[in-house]
Amino acid sequence: MVTPKTVPRAGEHAVTICAGPGCPDLLGCGRCNMETFAGEIKNYSIYEMAASARLRVVRGSLPYRACLSNGRLAPRTLQGAVIHDPDVVRQCLLAPVTSGRMACADGREIKLEAQTLCILGDTPGARKLARAAIETLNGAGVCVAFMAER
């Protein structure tokens, strides 16, 4: 198992890791549709974080993913669920960081305070999206730093 070795080593080297609530969908890394009960995802996340010592919890946003008004990520089967255009990502990432609000795929807006932005490395064009995110945040005067530095 990787986590018991990886988490302590990450801390030793001031590397930030993400513990996303993929829940029992370990191999799918949160990409499989799961039917859950109210509060179940929260409990999975608490369990996952408790299993790793000294982790700090921060709220995150995936600026390259469309969101539904119930707060869930739009299913990848929905057109536009994954945003590949850096200009569109630029538009999506500032609001959760600066105003605590996020526009949803259905046109509604929800409260979403993001302390970190996540762009998964296996997303096509991830490096380009990350570069666009950093440029946009720096241009808006938002502090960009590794979580270990904050």
pLDDT digits (tens, 9 = 90+) for 17-59: 665 555 566 556 556 676 776 677 677 776 666 666 666 667 7
1 pLDDT tier (thresholds 50, 70, 90): very low
Q: Which of the two residues, 15 and 100, has the higher pLDDT score?
A: 100
pLDDT of residue 150: 59
Tell me which residue of 138, 108, 34 sits closest to 117, measured CA to CA: 138
Residue type, 1: M
pLDDT of residue 148: 63
pLDDT of residue 119: 81
pLDDT of residue 149: 61
Tell me what the pLDDT averaged over the chain comes to.
Answer: 77
Residues of the chain with CATH 3.20.20.370: 58-150
pLDDT of residue 24: 62
User: For the domain 58-150, what is the CATH code?
Assistant: 3.20.20.370
For residue 115, pLDDT beyond 70: yes
pLDDT of residue 136: 92
Q: What is the pLDDT of residues 87-103, one digit of tens each?
A: 888 888 888 888 888 88
